[in-house]
Amino acid sequence: MSEPLEQILSHYQDENREIANVDEPQCSLVLFKVADKNFAFYGAQIKEILADRPVSWVPGCPPTLEGVINHRGRVESVININQLVEAPASDSVGKRSILMGRGQKMQSGILVDKLVDVLDVAESLIHPAGDPLSAAMQEVVVGIVPIGSEYYALLDLNLIFERYLETSGYGPLS
Q: Taking the domains of the chain in order of start, what are their residue ranges?
A: 23-167
Q: How confident is the model at residue 1 (pLDDT cuts 50, 70, 90)?
A: very low
More confident residue, 79 or 130: 79
Side-chain half-sphere exposure of 39, counting CA atoms within 13 A: 27
Pick the CATH number of 23-167 from 2.30.30.180, 3.10.20.740, 2.40.50.180, 3.40.30.10: 2.40.50.180
Average pLDDT of the residues in 89-102? 81
pLDDT value of position 123: 93
pLDDT at 147 over 60: yes
pLDDT value of position 99: 97
More confident residue, 13 or 45: 45
pLDDT value of position 21: 56
Strands 107-112 and 74-80: parallel
Collect contacts of 69-77 with beta carbons under 8 A, ≥24 apart: 69/98, 69/109, 71/100, 71/109, 76/100, 76/107, 76/108, 76/109, 77/108, 77/109
User: Model's pTM, two decimal places?
Assistant: 0.80
CB 132 within 8 A of CB 92: no
